[in-house]
Amino acid sequence: MSDKIQLLPDNIANQIAAGEVIQRPGSAVKELLENAVDAGATKIQLIVQDAGKSLIQVIDNGSGMSETDARMAFERHATSKIRAIDDLFHIKTMGFRGEALASIAAVAQVEIKTRQPESEFGTYLCIENSKVLQQEPCACNPGTSISMKNLFFNVPARRNFLKSNAAEMRHIIDEFIRVAMAFPQIFFSLTHNGQEVFHLEAGSLKQRIVQVLGNQYNAKLVAVKEETDYLNVYGFVGKPDTAKKTRGDQYFFVNNRFIKSAYLNHAVSAAFENLIAKDSYPTYVLYIDVDPSQVDINVHPTKQEIKFEDEKIIYAFVQAAVKHALAQFSIAPSLDFSLNADIQQLDAVSKPMTQEQKQQTQASNLYKTFTQKHQAHFIEKDKNSELKNWRSFFETTEALPIDIGGADTSLWQPAPEKKHIFNPLPEATLVQLHQTYIIVPTDSGFVLLHQQLAHERILYEKFQTAMHLKPIPVQQSMFPSTIELSAADATLLSELIPELLKIGFQLEAFGNNTFVIQGTPADVVQGNEKLAIELLIEQFKHFSSDVKFSKREKLIRCMSRQQAIKAGKTLSQSEMQQLISDLLQCATPNYTINGSPTFLEFKEDYLDRMFGKN
């Protein structure tokens, strides 16, 4: 029998390993920028073409590399950061595993020029498919310039899975911002297809936040700063009025490394409790400095998920720091520790504790929670509690919308028995209740209609028709207005412009993340077009994580929700009649796209039974 197991060739092994580290152009951007930071650079330039598919180049003025180091840097697991296993628990640099450059060289055509300041000549390397094609001395500036061209040129299947240029560019911008936010003392620039997207001068942390997130945050940031022996928490949170429906402007950094942590997100949200709406998310850029030995950053290939030795202590510190900052700026109520004179006379205050009471208190779990080590946020399990009706969590009773990604079509089939259209009495007077509901007399009782949900269904079907059959006419503006967005939002809007035209919005790029609004649908009030676009982008980002919907479907849902008549708006008789008429013309008038009923019907026999008359 012949042997079957054999070692993979190095280039194939590197390509397989690259799949973990380099998933898309943004992944390579992250690794190259972090290498430049580790090199001690004070100026870092990122240049990309075709959203990184054709070219990603990072130029820095850091320490550079010797000829030998430049060659070794592209070997797998070659690193200058680790000598012994204990070094893993004291990592203070961004990269350390020695996988990034080897992975990039396995799936792209790489050129590097590097020179140490004290050297007269630098080193030039050309690597393709993990093989060094050329190595020679060269003249270059101190520091390193590395270019990777034609990402995944030798793995066509991986290249075919890349998304549109606009989508990939958004990922590149996200990675760029995360590194630039972590190091405000370093100059960063980003140029895409010859146009400068970011030009971030070195400065203070607040200046960097405003540079990245926009000038509107300049007067709306609250400083956070708490220092302890265990950790330091500092940064900025946005005032409550900056809260958004999406998590976009939320950044956590641990030892200057961007991390994702739902646990810490919850800590900040808890500090904003009762200050913002429950479905909104606060804006924050927070930094945690902690002893590296208390953190394990080697739990994920991208190093964006980390593990704390004691998460509960971190949670408590972050929540307390944010609460304290909000209270200091009179945004949240602070505690008043002064005691009323009447309270001073209570037994609990005036009488000393007996020895027996002291022993009982020290034996309690509450006392242990505050005195024993690593007990922050400890909650004792209730032995009598049971998880009841667990099956109901997994069961659904409503049909949900399903989107076929490529077809841009929404299929929604409510249960047949729920398909029903009411018959309003002609010439009947309609009644608006609480500026939210409409009471509609019918030939068999009455209908209670929710004005916002009904209008959402009407608009959804209107926009579906516009996208697939007949575009909505554009009302040209006599005096076109301009709108300036952040780089990430501008990239997103650029991708949506063709679809927006079909539903009546005509926009043109004007450079520097600015757009001209040439026209809007007729039902958008002149002067409100900027707000309409901003709300649309915010709603779209809210849907962006929902992979079952196509881009077009998300846009239609956003527009339906945004432009629908809101609860609390007073309607005239003619407006209510038009709303009911439009709803009855819908293909599916009974339910919204999310499965909520648009109306409830109360029949006469049901009303009779309610009053005991059969």
Which of 138, 169, 203 is where one domain is finished? Answer: 203
Q: Are residues 127 and 252 in the same domain?
A: no
**Domain span at 444:** 411-601
Which pLDDT does position 409 carry in this prediction?
37
pTM: 0.67
Which pLDDT does position 302 carry in this prediction?
53
Which pLDDT does position 440 carry in this prediction?
93
Which pLDDT does position 280 carry in this prediction?
83
CATH of the domain at 498: 3.30.1370.100
CATH of the domain at 32: 3.30.565.10
Which of 296, 311, 328 is where one domain is finished? Answer: 328
Beta bridge partners of 547: none
Check pLDDT > 70 for residue 372.
no
Which pLDDT does position 603 carry in this prediction?
87
Report yes or no: 514 and 482 within 8 Å, Cβ to Cβ: yes
Q: If you compute the radius of gyration of the chain from its CA atoms, what whole number of angstroms results?
A: 30
Query: What mean pLDDT is predicted for residues 339-349?
Result: 46
Write out the H or E segment, with its range, that includes residue 43: strand 43-49
Check pLDDT > 50 for residue 392.
no
Which pLDDT does position 60 carry in this prediction?
96
Which pLDDT does position 461 carry in this prediction?
92
Q: Are residues 420 and 533 in the same domain?
A: yes
* Total domains, the chain: 3
In a domain, 85, yes or no: yes
Q: Are residues 424 and 304 in the same domain?
A: no
Q: How confident is the model at residue 16 (pLDDT cuts 50, 70, 90)?
A: low
Q: Are residues 590 and 564 in the same domain?
A: yes
Which pLDDT does position 332 carry in this prediction?
54
Which pLDDT does position 43 carry in this prediction?
97
Q: Are residues 422 and 318 in the same domain?
A: no
**End-to-end Cα spacing for the chain:** 87
Query: In whole angstroms, what separates CA 573 from the centre of its chain?
Result: 42
Q: Are residues 416 and 324 in the same domain?
A: no
Check pLDDT > 70 for residue 93.
no
Q: How confident is the model at residue 304 (pLDDT cuts 50, 70, 90)?
A: low
Q: Are residues 449 and 578 in the same domain?
A: yes
Query: What mean pLDDT is predicted for residues 49-58?
Result: 94
Q: At what angle do helices 529-543 and 487-502 cross, to 10 degrees?
A: 100
Query: What mean pLDDT is predicted for residues 243-247?
Result: 78
Kindly state the tokens that stand for 327. Answer: 């209270």
Which pLDDT does position 104 carry in this prediction?
87
Q: Are residues 162 and 224 in the same domain?
A: no
Which of 328, 353, 388 is where one domain is finished? Answer: 328
pLDDT in tens, 105-117: 888 899 999 999 9
pLDDT in tens, 182-229: 999 999 999 999 989 999 999 999 999 998 988 888 888 999 999 888
* 3-class SS of residue 488: helix
Q: How confident is the model at residue 529 (pLDDT cuts 50, 70, 90)?
A: confident
Q: Are residues 21 and 45 in the same domain?
A: yes
CA distance 313 to 335: 22
Q: Are residues 226 and 191 in the same domain?
A: no
Report yes or no: 129 and 14 within 8 Å, Cβ to Cβ: no
